[in-house]
Amino acid sequence: MTGELSPADKAKSVAANRAAGYVEDGMRVGLGTGSTAAWLVKRLGERVRADGLRFRGVPTSTRTAAQARDVGIEVITLDEAGWLDLTIDGADEFDSDLTLIKGGGGAHLQEKIVARASDRMIVIADAAKEVETLGAFPLPVEVIPFGLKSTQKLIEEALVAMDVGGRTTALRMNGDAPFVTDEGNHIIDLHLQRIGDARQISTVLNQIPGVVENGLFIDMCDLVIVGHADSRVDLHHLGKEST
Ligand SMILES: O=C(CO)[C@H](O)[C@H](O)COP(=O)(O)O
């Protein structure tokens, strides 16, 4: 995270630095997972060390927990926090309703629990994450290992029943073995191409036995901060945009 940054990393760090300004003394803050969230954790660590910022962070993955501790952030569990003032996280896609696809990093289960237990959720992103219609990014679905193949079959049948455009599903791999989440589960990525009715898809998927949680975040995000490589920032509130 040092030296000459690529334009994408610069954009992510610009968004993260702006979001870090929303964290105030005494807050309990959900810390997201992924490359953009890593910039946030880095910046918050700098604020802790340089400005004496005092807040407690609830990480959404073992990766983020390790980084947060490394940079000097006080880490607590969600149960210790009870409730959160704010969660800041990345996203794989967001649309004009601030509906999100998350889980590209495989952490959407903890991310959704943490975001849902927060007064406010801010998403940080580069401009490539903004879409007119969700679904070009594969929708991650966390499933328990038991009965994996029958769960995958039921998901595929549900996609046919909902008449969703793309219906290809793929078990996420980590080399030769299935990817394993922090909860010991697996992820099936749904290549839908286009998500028309996010609410319907989310509800139907979560009703299938074996499915733990899907990566659609609906009515959770309050603000998206988009960073640009030239240091500009766009703020997407529900229904309006500002800089
Ligand atoms: O949902 C996530 C992890 O589960 C990430 O927030 C999402 O994948 C975006 O990651 P990145 O900032 O690396 O593009």
Condensed to tens digits (0 to 9), the pLDDT of residues 114-157 reads 999 999 999 999 999 999 999 999 999 999 999 999 999 999 99
Domain containing 44 — which CATH number? Answer: 3.40.50.1360
> Residue 82 Cα, ligand 1 centroid: separation in angstroms?
24
Is residue 1 scored above 60 in pLDDT? no
> Is 49 a domain residue?
yes
Is residue 39 scored above 70 in pLDDT? yes
Is residue 239 scored above 70 in pLDDT? no
Residue nearest to atom 6 of ligand 1 (CA): 90
Is residue 241 scored above 80 in pLDDT? no
Phi-psi region of 121 (alpha: psi -120 to 50; beta: other; left: phi over 0): beta
Q: Please tell me the least confidently modeled range out of 33-42, 136-145, 232-241.
A: 232-241
Angle at 223 between CA 45 and CA 48, to 5 degrees: 10
Shared domain check, 179 and 115: no
Full residue range of the structural domain in which residue 27 is found: 7-129+219-233
> Residue 37 Cα, ligand 1 centroid: separation in angstroms?
8
Question: Which atom, in ligand 1's list, is nearest to the CA of 125?
Answer: 12
* 33 assigned binding-site residue: yes
User: What pLDDT score does 76 carry?
Assistant: 98
> Is 57 a domain residue?
yes
Question: Which atom, in ligand 1's list, is nearest to the CA of 103?
Answer: 4
> Is 44 a domain residue?
yes
Distance CA 208, CA 228 (A): 40
Q: Which of 10, 12, 33 to mutate to test the pocket of ligand 1 (most atoms within 8 A of CB)?
A: 33
Shared domain check, 225 and 122: yes
Shared domain check, 48 and 32: yes
> Is 239 a domain residue?
no
> Residue 90 Cα, ligand 1 centroid: separation in angstroms?
5
Tokens of 155: 């998901």
Shared domain check, 146 and 47: no
Number of structural domains in the chain: 2
Question: Which atom, in ligand 1's list, is nearest to the CA of 12?
Answer: 12
Is residue 94 scored above 60 in pLDDT? yes
CA distance to 12, 143, 144, 149, 187, per residue, from 178 (Å): 29, 12, 12, 12, 8
User: What pLDDT score does 243 carry?
Assistant: 65
> Residue 7 Cα, ligand 1 centroid: separation in angstroms?
17
Domain containing 170 — which CATH number? Answer: 3.30.70.260
> Residue 160 Cα, ligand 1 centroid: separation in angstroms?
28
pTM score, two decimals?
0.96
Shared domain check, 107 and 226: yes
Residue nearest to atom 10 of ligand 1 (CA): 34
User: Which runs of consecutive H residues, i.e. helices, occur in the chain?
Assistant: 7-20, 35-46, 62-70, 78-81, 108-116, 148-161, 198-206
Question: Which amino acid would we find at residue 200?
Answer: Q
Ligand 1 is surrounded, with C-beta below 6 A, by: 32-37, 89-92, 102-108, 111
Shared domain check, 164 and 66: no
* 102 assigned binding-site residue: yes
Question: Which atom, in ligand 1's list, is nearest to the CA of 32?
Answer: 6
Distance CA 137, CA 152 (A): 18
> Is 240 a domain residue?
no
> Is 91 a domain residue?
yes
> Is 73 a domain residue?
yes
Shared domain check, 191 and 115: no
- 111 as an active site residue: the answer is yes
Is residue 175 scored above 80 in pLDDT? yes
Is residue 3 scored above 90 in pLDDT? no
The residue annotated as part of the active site, out of 93, 111, 142, 213, is 111
Q: Find, among 116, 126, 113, 152, the residue nearest to 16 by Cα.
A: 126
